[in-house]
Structure 1
Amino acid sequence: MKVVFIGDIVGNLGRDTVKRLLPWLREKYQPHIIIANGENAAGGRGINAAITRELFEWGVHGITMGNHTWDNREIFEFIDDEQRMIRPANLAPGTPGRGSMIVKANGKELGVVNLIGRTFLPPSECPFLAAEELVTELRRKTKCVLVDFHAEATSEKIAMGWHLDGIASLVVGTHTHVQTNDDRILPEGTAYVTDAGMTGPRDGVLGMDKDTVVRKFMNGLPARFTVAEGKWVLSGVFVDIDETTGKAKQVRLIRVDEDSWIAT
């Protein structure tokens, strides 16, 4: 099974980039299933129903979220009913939505788990215990399982990779918006990347207007961040999974920007 994971989509430019490049991604990687992190898709904070529908219409098969899940309150109106979207599983019991799903497309089935880290982020339940429980549960239905670990600390994400080695097919980090150059297959067959990177404005600061962010660092005063404009970048991960074992056969980074992209 071939899977493409698209790193955090940020704002209008991020969505436009996904729409523009999805045909190219399908042609180049021939993915059976495409998953995207959408927690920054609406103005850089949260997601709404219209954007969710757009992403599915364009060809995304499943959406994961993160610490900005609830920033757009409209999500409370549809997250319980949307079977193709998940939020971090290790939130408090009774939180709307779900933390895992099975995505079906092109005759394939992929289990997907969304988790959030506890280091430098608001309190949550243990992601390691939740990961082991949910991945094991999904593997009863499909050997192929992707885990989106939305976390700040690289050490926490690396630890999760080792924790799930041989159980998950791919453990991919999100949240920091900076793609890491450490794609590898761990000894027991789990593909791992500390952070998939982001999809959106290339020349901002994590997708936000750079001048506003620089001023805040210099004067420490409150500032309203807005999504940057300018040239785009798309970042993500490609993984090829052995469907009989759930182990990764190949993993590689995807990163293309406005200056390097050549349409095929």
Structure 2
Amino acid sequence: MNPRTAHPAVSRALLTVFGLAALLDLLSLAVGYDPAHTVTKPLLMPLLAAYAALRGAPRLLVAALLCGWGGDTLLLSDADAAFLVGMACFAAGHLCYLALFRTYGGPKRAPRVRAGLLVAGYAVALASTVTLLWPDLPADLRVPVAGYSTLLTAMACAAATRLGLVAGVGGALFMVSDTLIATGVADWPQPPRPDFWIMLTYATAQFLLVQGVLGTLAERRAPAAAYREVRSTTP
């Protein structure tokens, strides 16, 4: 059975459950009910990964989401070691995304001039963020945060330049989410309920990255499917 058409009702149900879990997680953060957040947060990425897998997603996409699940779970702890290992999980996820975008860059790839402007813009954003945060970060986190930020920025830039608008917005929101985390670690002023905004941008980012990849794959497969249809009807 073709994985792209297998169990469409199940894939829709999984996406619905993901949306409900994300909504419950955000509501729990909005009202400050931590026990519900502890339950719902680790459910998000496995649900999204299962949905993506049933839609025929590449293994690299599923792996990226499961790396995100590892990071989500570890960041529920306040321990410094858990933060570092969680950041390493997210970094592994960004590597999966980078490899995926390199392999599956689609027809919405940005023209050369626009791609150059995007790369320059992301480079400026990276340099500015790291420079501003550096003095206020704990000394033992400065290098890991700078390295992680570089990888995150590369992923977001690749999403925008190789997969188009939907994935590009997802990558940008991922940067917003992790920048909020970094400013919290640096003890900068935070918006009310910062965890709410972190999870809102993060869950939306991962969803948009998934949709961007699945949309790109559908566009790549469409010409091949049309060619097979023509060949099958040719006398």
- Taking structure 1 as the reference length, the TM-score comes to 0.25
| Structure in which a larger fraction of residues adopt strand | 1
Give the number of the structure whose residues are more often helix, by fraction.
Answer: 2
Q: Which has the larger radius of gyration?
A: 2
